[in-house]
Structure 1
Amino acid sequence: MKLQTSYTFSAAPAQLWPLLFHSKMDDRRPCYFLFGLPKPVECRLADNGEGVGATRECISDKGVIRQTILDWVPEQKLRFALRETDIYFGPCVDAIVETFVLHPVHEKETMITRITEVTLKPGARFWVSLPMWIGLKSIHRYVFNNWKRIAKEAV
């Protein structure tokens, strides 16, 4: 399953780049009608490491997702893969690879495209695909709205 979401921010790539690995979310819920959906709380780099091979952590109210950074091109591209998670959907997933691509539109405007590729275990595909797609889309929008707020407050 592949999911892509794009959003244009009123900020330069240099201002947005750190949000991909160092940002805290607000208290709103990402999706009200899917009870139990993990609410992102924070994303961060573990052990102050950065670059290819470093660990990115996504903290949610349901647990932690640890990811290994595969591509690190400052202000242009960040790609990482799921390494481990203690969140309830872990046993249903074989792999998750996420990519963020920053496209400058104007001097102070940037479009970020987030691509999530999920490989579900064969027995879970029928039951989990639609709820996971809806949940991921909600989380994409929620995170982008938080980054919009953070970027606006930084101006």
Structure 2
Amino acid sequence: MVVQTTNNYNASSGELWPLLFNSKMDDKKPCYLLCGLPKPLECRLPDKQGGVGSTRECVSDKGTIQQRITEWVPGHKLSFQLVKTDLYFGPCVESIIEQFVITDNNQGGCQITRTTTFKAKGPLSLVVAIPMFIGLKAIHRYVFSNWKRLSH
């Protein structure tokens, strides 16, 4: 299943790029309707380097996700895939692949498009996929709203 979200910013790609791998979130909840949804706290590069093959780590109030960077084009594109997680949904997920693309918008700033492709596993994969889609969309929006605040 694919979840895609785009947001516009009054910021340059150089200002936005570091947010994709080095940002902390505010105290707001991602979605009040979805009890139990992990609240992102920060994304970081444990080795402080970045680049293809490096680890990107996202920390939430319920656990951590470690991702391997598969594409690193500074100021333009970041792609990565799930390596491991201790979040409760981990056993239900076969794969999660994510991509951020930064492009100029025609308003003097840039836009970021985030695409998450995930595959649930097991006999109830469709039942799992629907709440995951809703939860991922809420997290996309939450992170983008935080980045809007951080990019000013």
Task: Give TM class, smaller chain.
Answer: over 0.9
CA RMSD of aligned residues (A): 1.1
Matched residue SS, 2:125: helix
For 2:137, the equivalent position in structure 1 comes to: 137
Whether the aligned pair in 2 keeps the contact of 1:49 and 1:55 (CA below 8 Å) is: no
- The TM-score with structure 1 as length reference comes to 0.95
Q: Distance in 1 between matches of 2:91 and 2:33?
A: 23
For 2:50, the equivalent position in structure 1 comes to: 50
User: Structure 1, residues 99-147: CA drift from partner, whole Å, max 9, x if none?
Assistant: 0000012584001000000011032312211111110000000000000
For 1:76, the equivalent position in structure 2 comes to: 76
Q: Distance in 2 between matches of 1:149 and 1:107?
A: 18
Identical residues among aligned pairs (%) = 55
- The TM-score with structure 2 as length reference comes to 0.97
Aligned length: 152
Gaps spanning 5+ residues in structure 2: where? none
Bigger mean CA deviation after superposition, 121-130 or 111-120: 121-130
**Structure with the higher fraction of residues in helix conformation:** 1
Q: Distance in 1 between matches of 2:68 and 2:129?
A: 24
Q: AA paired with 2:57?
A: E
Gaps spanning 5+ residues in structure 1: where? none
